[in-house]
Structure 1
């Protein structure tokens, strides 16, 4: 489990995060949403142990991430940033294999990771021949292999905008895959996304942010309220509800909300 309580971060006189708390359980998909500049990526960098808050506490699978060495931290969590780097000349399979040490008898794990991320057909392709969306899926497979090779009983996968380079159909399919992966492998997945409808459709829990603060946290039905979203994003929304009331979607009716 990932537990963050009362996180505050300041930089150059600006408050980037202010008294923000979050929990994310293994086996669940937790999505972070909010307008541009809300602090989503900043929060993810703290949760992954890459930055330290000015105040507050983070417990990563029961551990203080700032007291762990790099090897121990890698056993517990894997991270895919917004624009992960890559080196021309390597194949997709070679990049994935960089995600974990593969002892004898575990050589098939990298294939499993690529299959789970549905990029196994790209294994022999050079990275420079892949589209941005294809490379993103390969990076996800690399991070997944890191966790599959771990002997930790609790593991977390932290993703910053994993659907940014994907079209609508692939983005929806990836979110469904991530939720299934979380449930099947008991991995806690925390991801930043911009698409409200993807979040409402696939998340187990949602953190809605604005101006470095948590505006709401809970299940999609608890968080995704039309009036709340209009106030946070500053736009008028139409709410579409399926006949069985199981699916909801939001469509912006204008740009900036004229009421502001």
Structure 2
């Protein structure tokens, strides 16, 4: 488990994250959603151990993150930031191989990570020639290889807006792949997304954030309530449900224009 209890992060008088708790299990996809400025990326930075909280407790696989050095953290969790950095001159395979540097993984295991992320055809391409979506898949493969080569039984994949550079179809497919990998490889995946419909379709658990706090946490059927979302986002929504109630979507409604 990834366990966060009463995490708080303050900057001066302002609480960026305020008394927030959640748990994320291996084998499950936990998605963090909420309006802009709700603190989603800040929370992910806390969960990754990159930013120390002002107060609260964070444990990865039962281990207090405050006691872990960089090498131990790298074995337990891998992070793909919203805009991960990269250097021109490297090809995609070289970037993915870097994921196993600390662990000294098998010589060719990185190829499996690229195959699982469906970017193996990009292996010899220079990073600067890739589209934003292609480069994102390569970074995901790099982080996946970091976890695959770690030797730990509990591992966590933390992703900040992994679908930001993708159209709806590609974003939908990517989250389906990530969830399948979470189940197959027994990874705990925590990701920030903006699209409510993608969260509804793919999440095992959803954390709904508001102003640095957890507004609600639980399975999609409990969290994704029309009235709650309208109040949080300040917009009217239409809720579309298929006749068999297996598919659901939320569509923002445009306010009617008034004539001058």
Instruction: Tell me the equivalent position of 1:181.
Output: 181
The 10-residue stretch of structure 1 (30-39 or 6-15) with the greater mean CA deviation from structure 2: 6-15
Deviating beyond 3 angstroms after TM superposition, the runs of 4 or more aligned structure 1 residues are: 101-104
**Over aligned residues, Cα RMSD in angstroms?**
1.1
- What's the TM-score, normalizing by structure 2? 0.96
Other-structure match for 1:228 = 228
CA distance in 1, matches of 2:86, 2:13: 34
Counterpart-to-counterpart distance in 2, 1:236 and 1:103: 52
Q: What is the rounded CA distance, in whole Å, between the counterparts of 2:222 and 2:108 in structure 1?
A: 41
Q: Give the match for residue 126 of structure 1.
A: 126
Q: CA deviation at 1:12?
A: 3.0
2:37 is matched with which residue? 37
Equivalence for 1:18 = 18
> How far apart are 1:103 and its partner, in Å?
5.1
Partner of 2:258: none
1:205 aligns with 2:202: no
Q: Deviations over 1:25-53 (max 9, x none)?
A: 00000000000000000100000001111
- Distance in 1 (CA, whole Å) between partners of 2:12 and 2:118 is 42
1:100 is displaced (CA, Å) by 0.4
Q: Report the secondary structure of 1:150's partner residue.
A: coil
TM-score by length of 1: 0.96
SS of corresponding position for 1:245: coil
- Give secondary structure in 1 for the equivalent of 2:63: coil
Aligned length: 254
Matches within 5 A, 1:112-123: 112-123=112-123
1:171 Cα offset (Å): 0.4
- 1:45-60 superposed matches below 5 A: 45-60=45-60
Q: How does 1:78-227 map to 2 (within 5 A)?
A: 78-101=78-101, 106-227=106-227
2:61 alignment partner in structure 1? 61
| Separation of aligned partners in 1, 2:55 and 2:182 | 30
Correspondence for 1:258: none
- For residue 254 of structure 1, give the secondary structure of its aligned residue in structure 2: coil
Question: How many angstroms apart in 1 are the aligned matches of 2:247 and 2:24?
Answer: 23
Matched residues in 1 for 2:66 and 2:139: separation?
25
Structure 2 unpaired stretches of 5+: 256-260
In 2, Cα distance between equivalents of 1:236 and 1:12: 35
Deviations 1:110-131 (A, max 9, x none): 1110111111110010000001
Shift of 1:107: 2.2
Identify the range of structure 1 (48-57 vs 26-35) with the bigger mean alpha-carbon deviation: 48-57
Q: What secondary structure does 1:137 align onto? A: helix
Distance 2:64 2:104 in 1: 28
- Residue 118 of structure 1 aligns to a residue whose secondary structure is coil
Residue of structure 2 equivalent to 1:240: 240
Cα distance in 2 between the residues matched to 1:24 and 1:234: 28
